[in-house]
Amino acid sequence: MYLYAKYCPVAATTKVMGDFWTPLIVRELLYGTTRFNQLARNVPGIPRSVLAGRLRNLERAGLVVCERGGQRTMTAYCLTPAGRDLRPVLEAMDAWGTRWAAPEPPPEEVDPLIMICMLKSRMRVAELPEERVVLEVQLTGDQEGRAWVVSERRNVTMCFDPPGFDTDLWVTSDIPTLYDIWRGRSMMADALARGAVEVDGRAALLRCFARWFDGTDAGPRRGARSSSEAAGIAS
């Protein structure tokens, strides 16, 4: 069967990317995550042995290069040009899944920590400052939870426990609000304006917080749907 991948580009791509975990790992690498422990935290539920195996597969396929420093803890996983060219593939998967595959869960069924992780994945890395920024995200309402999102040199990770750095911004909201932002149905700036998201902390960061999610153009995200589409399509 795999001989077919020699001649068919779709089969060749499926051979590399056609399992549950690999696209999620590549997505995190595209976001700028480079460390093994960061990848393990940012892909909820992945066994560490599976992550190590998938990274080796991606390295053998020429999509990832493992840059090893003087210490084992300094190992970084970076996408090659071939790996970076998977960006439109992941964007197309996100758009298709948003429209057709992902069911709309009731808010009470969304895990708060998973919700914070999902929101983290919507941060626009290019808009983040180079300096370290620590967000403490508190979810209120029927489903409560708290986690920390750390951006350092535009490398974004999530921590379930205090990361050991001072918090720069305190973010408070609820699952329905953040879910709509993650889906692209609502803008962070609008949620801030109506008080659905509250942010406190350093003034310089407060001024640019919405842009980290909405972008400088404040336009719709790739794959985002209008409210009329959202009402007519369960996704």
Distance, in Å, from the CA atom of 166 to the CA atom of 184, rounded to the nearest integer, reads 30
- pLDDT bin (cut points 50, 70, 90) of residue 70 is low
pTM of the model: 0.70
Residue 234 falls within a domain, yes or no? Answer: no
Span 16-38, pLDDT tens digits = 999 999 999 999 999 888 889 88
Span 143-168, pLDDT tens digits = 899 999 999 877 888 888 999 999 99
Residues 46 and 142 both lie in one domain: no
Helix axes 21-31, 48-60, angle to 10 degrees: 80
Q: Of 67, 100, 133, which marks where a domain is finished?
A: 100
Residue 224 falls within a domain, yes or no? Answer: no
Number of domains in the chain: 2
Span 173-189, pLDDT tens digits = 999 999 999 888 899 99
State the number of CA atoms in the 13 A half-sphere of 201 facing the CB: 20
- Residue 120 and residue 110 in contact, taking contact as beta carbons nearer than 8 Å: no
The residue-averaged pLDDT of 121-128 equals: 86
SS3 state at 234? coil
Task: Print the SS3 string covering 92-153.
Answer: HHHHHHHHHHCCCCCHHHCCHHHHHHHHHCCCCHHHCCCCCEEEEEEEECCCCEEEEEEEEC
Residues 137 and 188 both lie in one domain: yes
The residue-averaged pLDDT of 51-56 equals: 96
Residues 130 and 78 both lie in one domain: no
- Residue 102 and residue 93 in contact, taking contact as beta carbons nearer than 8 Å: no
- Looking at residue 109, its pLDDT comes to 84
Distance, in Å, from the CA atom of 48 to the CA atom of 8, rounded to the nearest integer, reads 32
Residue 86 falls within a domain, yes or no? Answer: yes
